């Protein structure tokens, strides 16, 4: 992580100035313990370079069945502040608590879009091996099964909702700076009915004194993903690189640009300097690559794509949408993508 | 009333909104006014349908009659499914004198000649449009009435609009059209969309067009007071100029409603200072698709607001100038400007 901007340690006595934006706790909330942590706060900077994507067979490290679960779905992303007194050893207890919480909320009349005569069973489990560094906490996978109240003998409980909390290559300085009682799993991926997501989030917030917010993927993150995936082409055929923009015209104009994988890789290869021993990609290269594509487009249509918003990036390896939805289609690049998203989630943390 | 007739009747009635049922059935003319009066239009559709079906049985109606009702529905709701435009080429001398009766006879005859099982229904609509419904069969099977092709042709024009045509039947339809309209060939016009009216208006230039002029249009009054009169005037003039150019390219007022435009780019890389790619001979391939609820309006606003540079590039203005929304852009020759060629059919 040499490439990262140096983290500045703030002296304990001084009032900590927060970075320009924080989407988590607001200043007016009553101060929690986290707020008063003495002198160990770091300022996480947006990195200007990162490692190029490397294909790795992660099923050697992680249970293939668990990997299959992560790859199958489209996930809606949220970021979560550090969990207070979360223990990986108490997952069974959490399963019971969350089941009870959902049933209780349902009885209170909270709309859960699964038939009225159903019971819920929650399972928490760990996905061992997804963590990359000592500081990363192991990923926690949550599934909610539904079962009709009067089930026949052969009825198998159906998975109605799943989600996972993860941290991959989280900024070590940030993670080390957390007080001992906190576990940081900043990235929360969910799939299932919105009502259940809301319930799980509110349970997490109450149980671990944390805060969950949806994560928006800005164009910088999407650009990084476009480049990281394009760089994979010599190893794994990406088949296409598709970029989607929306222009704020009236009515709005959607522009999708689908590029041939070989051509787009050649463009990237001509920009990217591969001389360094640790293959890193710099933000400047990413910007030149995107400008290269946008200017080629401009020469044809004379439309300024910068006037609009980059909404979606997709290749056959996966896709990422501005609204925080991602899909990872190829398990070999899970660590690369999760590293980027973990960082994106940590950047949203209040400091 | 056999099963197929009932099926078509059910599908059609389901699609018609309750408010328009009575009117549609009246124009169908196979149920008498007194019979219509016995029907209760406020009933749930499935009950209504049962009553209607028994009236049809009473009147001894069959598939032929029911398909007529389906045609009436389609004629009244033309903006459904995807329409593809075709253009007839090289009109013969008699092309201009082809009239409905002659066309009807010839079209049917030419189609029946090559296909044993085909059912054709032709109806003339008020605005000179001829609506053709074709149910296709083959040598062994009866025509499939549930998946008909719809064709709309404006007599004495080279334009034909086709919906739900399989590539298998394309040659038969094209041949019958060419022969019965007295042309020598037909080609894909590379224009498609869900609004039949929009495609027609675009091709026949039936929308408010703006032509280049040296006289500037009078400046509209603006509410905001500019910081300096001269700056304000210059801004307003520029904005006016952009709007003028946007309207020249995409039309003024209400423009034909297209949803998409697709460009297959097979041109050399033209991006910013990247010598490796600029020197490369092979094209930099990609497909650009523009999508909007009203594409021409979006593009006009895009140019008028400055999100696109004026004057409008020929690639975009070709949508209206050439009446197409599918383009393949290739290099004319080394160093030459891009050129548009059509997809080979």
Determine, for residues A302 and B270 on separate chains, whether the beta-carbon distance falls below 8 Å.
no
**The pLDDT of residue A193 is above 80:** yes
- B163 and B139 in a single domain? The answer is yes
- B71 and B87 in a single domain? The answer is no
The CATH number of the domain holding residue B165 is 3.60.90
**The pLDDT of residue A173 is above 70:** yes
List the alpha helices (DSSP H) in chain A.
Answer: 64-72, 91-107, 172-176, 194-208, 219-231, 261-271, 283-301, 334-347
- B64 and B97 in a single domain? The answer is no
What local confidence, expressed as pLDDT, does residue A350 receive? 75
How far is A214 from B258, CA to CA, in rounded Å?
35
The residue-averaged pLDDT of A200-223 equals 94
**The pLDDT of residue B191 is above 80:** yes
CB contact A158 to B (< 8 Å) = no
How far is B16 from B76, CA to CA, in rounded Å?
10
Give one DSSP letter per residue of A271-321, joined into a string: H----SSS-EEEHHHHHHHHHHHHHHHHHHH-B-GGGSEEEEEEETTEEEE
Torsions phi, psi for A313 (to 5 deg): -125, 130
- B241 and B186 in a single domain? The answer is no
pLDDT in tens, A222-251: 999 999 999 999 889 999 999 999 999 999
Note which residues in 273-292 of chain A have CB less than 8 A from chain B: 291-292
Name which of B271, B286, B297 is nearest A295 (Cβ-Cβ).
B271
How far is B275 from A292, CA to CA, in rounded Å?
11
Beta strands A309-315 and B83-91 are: unpaired
Determine, for residues A255 and B269 on separate chains, whether the beta-carbon distance falls below 8 Å.
no
A276: nearest Cα among A87, A36, A66, A3? A3
Note which residues in 231-260 of chain A have CB less than 8 A from chain B: 247-260
List the alpha helices (DSSP H) in chain B.
Answer: 3-15, 18-28, 33-38, 45-58, 63-76, 100-114, 170-181, 196-203, 229-250, 275-278, 295-304, 314-318
What local confidence, expressed as pLDDT, does residue B208 receive? 84
What local confidence, expressed as pLDDT, does residue A44 receive? 61
Determine, for residues A253 and B295 on separate chains, whether the beta-carbon distance falls below 8 Å.
yes
What local confidence, expressed as pLDDT, does residue A54 receive? 79
pLDDT in tens, B129-179: 999 999 998 778 889 999 999 999 998 889 999 999 999 999 999 999 999
Tell me the CA distances in angstroms from B63 to B35, B66, B104, B268, B318, one per residue in order.
20, 5, 20, 56, 44
Contacts B313 to A, Cβ<8 Å: 300-302
Domain total in chain B: 3
How far is B219 from B216, CA to CA, in rounded Å?
8
CB contact A218 to B (< 8 Å) = no
Which residue, of B58, B76, B94, is where some domain finishes?
B76
What angle (nearest 5°) sits at the alpha carbon of residue A184, between those of residues A180 and A186?
165
What local confidence, expressed as pLDDT, does residue B116 receive? 82
The count of residues in chain A is 351
How far is A259 from B286, CA to CA, in rounded Å?
4
What angle (nearest 5°) sits at the alpha carbon of residue B118, between those of residues B152 and B71?
40
Q: Is residue B291 situated within a structural domain?
A: yes
**Pick the residue with more confidence: A307 or B94?**
A307
The band of A163, judged by pLDDT with boundaries at 50, 70 and 90, is very high
Residue B253: CB atoms within 10 A of its CB come to 9
- B91 and B199 in a single domain? The answer is yes
Which residue, of B76, B103, B118, is where some domain finishes?
B76
pLDDT in tens, B49-105: 999 999 999 999 999 999 999 999 999 999 889 999 999 999 888 888 888 999 999
- B182 and B87 in a single domain? The answer is yes
pLDDT in tens, A5-61: 444 444 344 444 444 443 434 444 444 444 444 444 445 667 788 888 878 788 888
Share of chain B above pLDDT 90, in %: 61
CB contact B330 to A (< 8 Å) = no
CB B190 within 8 A of CB B342: yes
**Pick the residue with more confidence: A1 or A268?**
A268
CB B268 within 8 A of CB B274: no
The C-alpha of A266 sits at a distance from chain B's nearest C-alpha, in angstroms, of: 8
Question: Among all residues of chain B, which has the CA nearest to that of A303?
Answer: B308
The band of A273, judged by pLDDT with boundaries at 50, 70 and 90, is confident
What local confidence, expressed as pLDDT, does residue B223 receive? 55
Here the ipTM equals 0.84
What angle (nearest 5°) sits at the alpha carbon of residue B331, between those of residues B327 and B333?
145
* Token pair of A136 as six digits: 């990363």
CB A344 within 8 A of CB A217: yes
A229: nearest Cα among A309, A292, A319? A319
The band of B339, judged by pLDDT with boundaries at 50, 70 and 90, is very low
A230, A240, A243, A247, best to mutate vs chain B, most B CBs in 10 Å:
A247
- B19 and B70 in a single domain? The answer is yes
**The pLDDT of residue B215 is above 70:** no
The CATH number of the domain holding residue B295 is 3.10.20.720
pLDDT in tens, B228-275: 777 778 888 888 899 999 999 999 989 999 999 999 999 999 887 677
- B140 and B56 in a single domain? The answer is no
- B60 and B97 in a single domain? The answer is no
**Pick the residue with more confidence: A1 or B42?**
B42
**The pLDDT of residue A158 is above 80:** yes
What local confidence, expressed as pLDDT, does residue B220 receive? 52
What local confidence, expressed as pLDDT, does residue A319 receive? 96
Q: What residues make up the domain containing B247?
A: 229-341
- B290 and B259 in a single domain? The answer is yes
The band of A110, judged by pLDDT with boundaries at 50, 70 and 90, is low
Share of chain B above pLDDT 70, in %: 92
CB A256 within 8 A of CB A308: no
CB contact B274 to A (< 8 Å) = yes
**Pick the residue with more confidence: A188 or B116?**
A188
What single-letter DSSP state applies at residue A331? G
Peptide bond into B311 cis (omega under 30): yes
Which residue, of B203, B237, B259, is where some domain finishes?
B203
Q: Is residue B221 situated within a structural domain?
A: no
CB B183 within 8 A of CB B158: yes
CB A19 within 8 A of CB A43: yes
Give one DSSP letter per residue of B180-228, joined into a string: HHTEEEEEEEEEEES-HHHHHHHHTT-S------SSPPPPPP-SSPPSS
Q: What is the mean pLDDT of chain B?
A: 87
- B170 and B239 in a single domain? The answer is no
pLDDT in tens, A81-95: 999 999 999 999 999
Domain residue ranges in chain A: 34-215+341-347, 219-322
Contacts A303 to B, Cβ<8 Å: 302, 307-309
């Amino acid at each position: 992580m040499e490439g990262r901007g140096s983290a500045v340690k703030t002296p304990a006595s001084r009032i900590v100035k927060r970075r320009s934006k924080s989407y988590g706790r607001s200043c007016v909330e009553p101060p929690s313990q986290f707020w008063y942590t003495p002198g160990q706060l770091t300022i996480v900077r947006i990195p200007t370079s990162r490692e190029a994507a490397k294909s790795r067979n992660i099923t050697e490290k992680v249970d293939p069945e668990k990997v299959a679960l992560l790859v199958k779905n489209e996930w809606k992303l949220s970021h979560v502040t550090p969990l207070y007194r979360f223990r990986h050893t108490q997952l069974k207890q959490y399963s019971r608590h969350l089941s009870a919480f959902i049933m209780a909320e349902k009885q209170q009349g909270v709309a859960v879009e699964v038939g009225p005569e159903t019971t819920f069973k929650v399972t928490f489990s760990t996905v061992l091996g997804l963590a990359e560094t000592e500081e990363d906490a192991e990923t926690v996978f949550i599934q909610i099964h539904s079962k009709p109240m009067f089930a026949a003998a052969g009825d198998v409980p159906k998975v109605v909702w799943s989600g996972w909390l993860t941290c991959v290559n989280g900024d070590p300085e940030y993670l080390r700076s957390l007080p001992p009682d906190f576990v940081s799993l900043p990235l929360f991926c969910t799939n299932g009915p919105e009502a259940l997501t809301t319930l799980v989030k509110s349970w997490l917030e109450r149980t671990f004194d944390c805060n969950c917010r949806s994560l928006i993927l800005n164009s910088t993150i999407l650009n990084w993903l476009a480049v990281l995936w394009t760089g994979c082409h010599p190893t794994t055929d990406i088949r296409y690189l598709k970029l989607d923009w929306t222009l704020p015209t009236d009515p709005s104009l959607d522009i999708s640009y689908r590029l041939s994988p070989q051509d787009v890789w050649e463009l990237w290869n001509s920009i990217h300097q591969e001389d360094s021993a640790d293959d890193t990609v710099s933000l400047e290269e990413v910007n030149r690559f995107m400008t290269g594509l946008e200017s080629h487009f401009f020469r044809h249509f004379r439309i300024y794509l910068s006037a609009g918003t980059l909404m979606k990036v997709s290749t056959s390896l996966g896709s990422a949408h501005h609204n925080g939805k991602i899909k990872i289609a190829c398990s070999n690049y899970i660590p690369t993508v999760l590293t980027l998203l973990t960082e994106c989630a940590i950047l949203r943390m209040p400091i | 009333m056999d099963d197929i007739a009932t099926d078509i009747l059910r599908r059609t009635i389901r699609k018609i909104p309750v408010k328009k049922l009575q009117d549609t059935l009246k124009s169908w003319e196979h149920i008498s006014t007194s019979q219509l009066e016995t029907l209760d239009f406020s009933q749930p559709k499935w009950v209504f349908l049962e009553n209607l079906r028994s009236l049809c049985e009473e009147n001894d109606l069959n598939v032929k009659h029911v398909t007529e009702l389906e045609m009436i529905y389609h004629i009244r709701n033309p903006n459904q499914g995807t329409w593809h435009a075709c253009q007839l080429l090289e009109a013969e001398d008699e092309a201009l004198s082809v009239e409905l009766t002659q066309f009807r006879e010839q079209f049917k005859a030419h189609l029946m000649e090559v296909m044993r099982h085909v059912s054709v229904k032709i109806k003339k609509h008020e605005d000179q449009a001829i609506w053709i419904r074709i149910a296709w069969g083959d040598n062994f099977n009866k025509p499939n009435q549930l998946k008909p092709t719809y064709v709309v042709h404006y007599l004495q024009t080279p334009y034909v609009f086709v919906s739900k045509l399989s590539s298998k039947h394309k040659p038969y339809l094209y041949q019958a059209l060419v022969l019965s309209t007295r042309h020598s060939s037909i080609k894909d016009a590379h224009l498609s969309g869900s609004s039949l009216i929009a495609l027609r208006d675009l091709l026949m230039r039936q929308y408010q067009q703006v032509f280049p002029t040296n006289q500037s249009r009078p400046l509209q009054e603006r509410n905001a007071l500019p910081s300096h009169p001269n700056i304000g005037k210059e801004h307003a003039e520029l904005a006016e100029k952009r709007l003028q150019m946007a309207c020249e390219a995409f039309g003024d007022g209400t423009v034909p409603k297209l949803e998409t435009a697709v460009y297959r780019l097979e041109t050399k890389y033209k991006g910013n200072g990247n010598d490796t790619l600029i020197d490369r001979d092979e094209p930099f391939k990609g497909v650009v698709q523009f999508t909007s609820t009203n594409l021409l309006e979006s593009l006009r606003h895009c140019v008028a607001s400055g999100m696109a540079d004026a004057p409008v590039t020929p690639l975009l203005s070709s949508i209206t100038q050439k009446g197409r929304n599918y383009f393949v852009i290739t290099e004319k020759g080394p160093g030459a400007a891009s050129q548009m060629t059509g997809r080979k059919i």
